């Protein structure tokens, strides 16, 4: 799923997660990799998209940190955006990308064995 599609899906659900003002307030960015931005899984509890965001605190001297996120499609009209693990748990985009793929892999494995 492309960034524009993800943002449209989230906005259509009524979430303000990707609104311009929300992203500006948190100095948030939706991060991508050359191999594709998100891992898609179709698990036992619906479709999911994993992605990485980065945020930077307004405190002087703070560094940009990275979080793994996931949206879960609960039904046709409702989805949630959740943080996987701890908020800003990763110092680099590469660490967060690895964690994103690991999270998606764990869900796929759980879905296949149930």
Q: Where does the pLDDT of residue 88 fall: very low under 50, low under 70, confident under 90, or very high at 90 and above?
A: very high
Percent share of the chain, pLDDT over 70: 76
pLDDT of 103 over the 60 cut: yes
pTM reported for the whole predicted model: 0.79
**Cβ(84)–Cβ(98) below 8 Å:** no
Of 25-34, 38-47, 93-102, which range is least confident? 38-47
**Cβ(71)–Cβ(23) below 8 Å:** no
Residues 2-29 pLDDT 10s? 778 888 888 888 889 999 999 999 999 9
**Cβ(88)–Cβ(66) below 8 Å:** yes
Q: Where does the pLDDT of residue 109 fall: very low under 50, low under 70, confident under 90, or very high at 90 and above?
A: low
Cα–Cα dist 5/1, whole Å:
6
Please state the rounded mean pLDDT for residues 84-88: 94
pLDDT of 39 over the 50 cut: yes
Cα–Cα dist 47/75, whole Å:
9
């Amino acid at each position: 799923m492309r960034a524009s599609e993800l943002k449209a899906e989230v906005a259509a659900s009524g979430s303000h997660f990707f609104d311009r003002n929300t992203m500006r307030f948190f100095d948030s960015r939706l991060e991508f990799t050359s191999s594709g931005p998100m891992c898609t899984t179709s698990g036992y509890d619906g479709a999911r998209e994993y992605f990485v965001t980065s945020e930077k605190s307004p405190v002087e001297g703070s560094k940009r940190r990275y979080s793994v996120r996931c949206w879960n499609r609960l039904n046709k009209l409702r989805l949630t955006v959740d943080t996987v693990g701890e908020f800003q748990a990763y110092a680099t985009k590469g660490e967060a990308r690895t964690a994103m793929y690991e999270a998606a892999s764990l869900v796929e494995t759980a879905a296949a064995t149930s």
